[in-house]
């Protein structure tokens, strides 16, 4: 016989309701990974760390992402989606290739060291393929033979990702030094010039004599110089 409700132990208290968790999506997981990369870098990304962002366990992520490597590729492709790809214009194909390269470089530098995920891999996500198809089309429209265009595209993308990754390392060193970025670079440049000028001229005559030229130029200037070398050099492969 049950106790009446006015006696101790006779009152049935309702069980606390648990808030139902909203099912995760692949897009949410990718965005969480990108947030972590921007704050802390690619080494901070892990399945466990991302799961903690949603107050859940890593096992809940594996229904959407196989492992960290796949996640990094998905994150890279998401960043590629930020880059616009215009239709090829034969009259300004060089300018288009450079504009596309600059846009890709900017998207990567804005996401810390994510560029490292693209090194030694062949990105095949839909957004990465869209960029590859656009750049290839621009070169073909300019008269570059297919094989030369494909190889040039590979070299340009390698240049973009490697430069963006190196830039992220520089930013990390500046941050660790706890100094103003511009002041840090100026001081480093002065130190390098002094070092090069102090080299024995009988062993390193050209470096010692051209110390300022070795160190001069900003990051953007050097990136543009390398881009010009790669794109303008394609002229030699165009049919007469």
Question: Which tens digits make up the pLDDT trace of 165-222?
Answer: 999 998 887 777 776 667 777 888 899 999 999 999 999 999 999 999 999 888 899 9
pLDDT at 170: 85
Instruction: Judge whether 44 and 91 are in contact, CB under 8 Å.
Output: no
User: What are the start and end residues of each CATH 1.10.10.60 domain in the chain?
Assistant: 21-65
Query: What b/e string do you get for 167-192 counting C-beta neighbours within 10 Å, with b at 16 or more?
Result: bbeeeeebeeeeeeeeebeeeeeeee
Q: What is the CATH number of domain 21-65?
A: 1.10.10.60
**Which one of 1.10.540.10, 1.10.357.10, 1.20.140.10, 3.40.50.150 gives the CATH number of domain 77-237?**
1.10.357.10
pLDDT at 20: 47
Q: Output the CA torsion sign for 161, 162, 167, 172.
A: positive
How far is residue 187's CA from residue 193's CA, in Å, rounded to a whole number? 10
Look up the pTM and report it: 0.85
How far is residue 194's CA from residue 187's CA, in Å, rounded to a whole number? 11
| C-alpha closest to that of 114 among 26, 65, 44 | 44
Other Cβ atoms closer than 10 A to 10: 10
Query: CB neighbours of 175 closer than 8 A, spacing ≥ 6?
Result: none
C-alpha separations of 162 from 120, 165, 213, 235 in Å: 10, 5, 23, 24
| C-alpha closest to that of 159 among 104, 213, 99, 112 | 104
Radius of gyration of the chain (CA): 27
User: What are the start and end residues of each CATH 1.10.357.10 domain in the chain?
Assistant: 77-237
Query: What b/e string do you get for 11-42 counting C-beta neighbours within 10 Å, with b at 16 or more?
Result: eeeeeeeeeeeeebeeebbbebbbebbeeeeb
C-alpha separations of 238 from 44, 140, 148 in Å: 46, 10, 9
Regions of the chain where pLDDT drops below 50: 6, 19-20
How far is residue 56's CA from residue 46's CA, in Å, rounded to a whole number? 13
Helix ranges, the chain (H): 26-40, 47-53, 68-80, 93-109, 126-141, 146-177, 181-197, 205-209, 211-215, 219-232
Three-state SS for 125?
A: coil
Instruction: Judge whether 114 and 42 are in contact, CB under 8 Å.
Output: yes
């Amino acid at each position: 016989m049950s106790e009446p409700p006015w006696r101790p132990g006779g009152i049935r208290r309702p069980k606390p309701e648990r808030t139902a968790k909203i099912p995760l999506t692949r897009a949410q997981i990718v965005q969480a990974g990108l947030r972590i990369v921007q704050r802390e870098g690619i080494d901070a990304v892990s399945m466990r760390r991302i799961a903690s962002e949603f107050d859940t366990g890593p096992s809940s992520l594996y229904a959407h992402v196989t492992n960290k490597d796949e996640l990094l590729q998905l994150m890279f492709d998401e960043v590629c989606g930020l880059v616009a790809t215009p239709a090829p214009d034969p009259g300004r194909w060089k300018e288009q290739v450079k504009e596309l390269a600059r846009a890709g470089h900017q998207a990567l530098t804005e996401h810390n060291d994510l560029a490292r995920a693209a090194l030694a891999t062949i990105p095949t996500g839909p957004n990465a393929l869209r960029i590859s198809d656009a750049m290839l089309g621009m070169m073909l429209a300019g008269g570059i033979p297919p094989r030369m265009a494909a190889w040039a595209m590979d070299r340009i993308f390698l240049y973009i990702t490697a430069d963006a990754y190196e830039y992220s390392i520089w930013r990390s060193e500046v941050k660790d030094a706890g100094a103003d970025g511009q002041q840090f670079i100026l001081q480093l440049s002065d130190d390098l010039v002094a070092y090069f000028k102090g080299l024995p001229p009988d062993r390193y005559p050209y470096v010692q004599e051209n110390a300022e030229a070795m160190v001069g130029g900003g990051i953007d200037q050097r990136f543009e110089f390398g881009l010009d070398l790669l794109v303008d050099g394609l002229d030699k492969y165009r049919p007469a």
